[in-house]
Amino acid sequence: MARQLLEGLVFMHEHYIAHGDIHPRNILWNHAPTHHELSRHSKFNCCMAYIDFGGAVLFSADNRRSPGSGVRPPSAFAAPEQSLDQLYDVCAADVCMLGKVLQGEMEEGRKWYGIPSEDTVYERYETLLAKMTCAKPEDRCTATAALEAVLSILLQSVCITAFLLHLLACILGPMGMAKVAPIHPQRTSRA
């Protein structure tokens, strides 16, 4: 989710568009069916997308400051500077709003899945979200820097999973692993 949303935000900012109204109701979660779903081994292909560009603003390459469009997200998701009647960095505001959305999603995940606070992957993610939601816009990371951090966190998560599977394989041995997680069902050959 975070990766796709940050990729979308980077894309918008690279094309000089700031959304200006990022909150959960302006993010669409879409299940895009694939041709694989016709088989019994279907893939669940999820796509995240921003909707409602009524608050979007165009900015120039040399000036990201704007008074905004006048459209503001709910106060729980607004960047602090959006409540002021002055020019502000619209890209930094987008990063802050998305950071607040992702913080809410992480808290929901903790509530539902019981993710421990001392998990190093989540600690890195929390640190990133804190950088995205700094009160001062100039202290926030950019969407590009946030995307790079998320990709690094995902890589760490994959490496930890691979290490744990290797460790489990060493402990159980090849036959024990086959009993725990068979990779392919037994195939019979026809003569």
Q: For residues 43 and 2, is the Cβ–Cβ distance under 8 A?
A: no
How far apart are alpha carbons 147 and 2 in whole angstroms?
A: 8
Q: Once rounded to an integer, what is the mean pLDDT over residues 86-105?
A: 96
Q: Once rounded to an integer, what is the mean pLDDT over residues 3-21?
A: 96
Give the confidence band of 191 by pLDDT, cuts at 50, 70, 90.
very low
Q: Once rounded to an integer, what is the mean pLDDT over residues 122-140?
A: 95
pLDDT at 114: 75
Quick check: 67 pLDDT over 60? yes
Give the confidence band of 177 by pLDDT, cuts at 50, 70, 90.
low
DSSP assignments along 59-102, one per residue: -BTTB-EE---S----TTTS-GGGGSSS-EEHHHHHHHHHHHHH
Pick the closest to residue 119 from 157, 165, 173, 64 (CA basis).
157
Polymer length of the chain = 191
pLDDT at 44: 55
**For 76-167, where are the E strands, in sequence order?**
88-89
Ramachandran angles phi, psi of 28, nearest 5°: -100, 130
For residue 13, give the amino acid letter: H
Lowest mean pLDDT across 8-17, 25-34, 57-66, 177-186: 177-186
Quick check: 152 pLDDT over 80? yes
Q: Once rounded to an integer, what is the mean pLDDT over residues 153-180?
A: 68
Q: Give me 60's structure tokens.
A: 């120039």
Look up the pTM and report it.
0.78
Higher pLDDT, 158 or 140: 140
Q: Report, in angstroms and rounded to the nearest whole number, the Rg of the chain calculated over CA atoms.
A: 21
- The residue ranges of every structural domain in the chain are 2-156
pLDDT at 70: 85
Quick check: 38 pLDDT over 60? no
Lowest mean pLDDT across 88-102, 115-129, 135-149: 115-129
Q: Give me 57's structure tokens.
A: 């603003």
CATH superfamily, domain 2-156, is: Transferase(Phosphotransferase) domain 1 (1.10.510.10)
Higher pLDDT, 116 or 73: 73
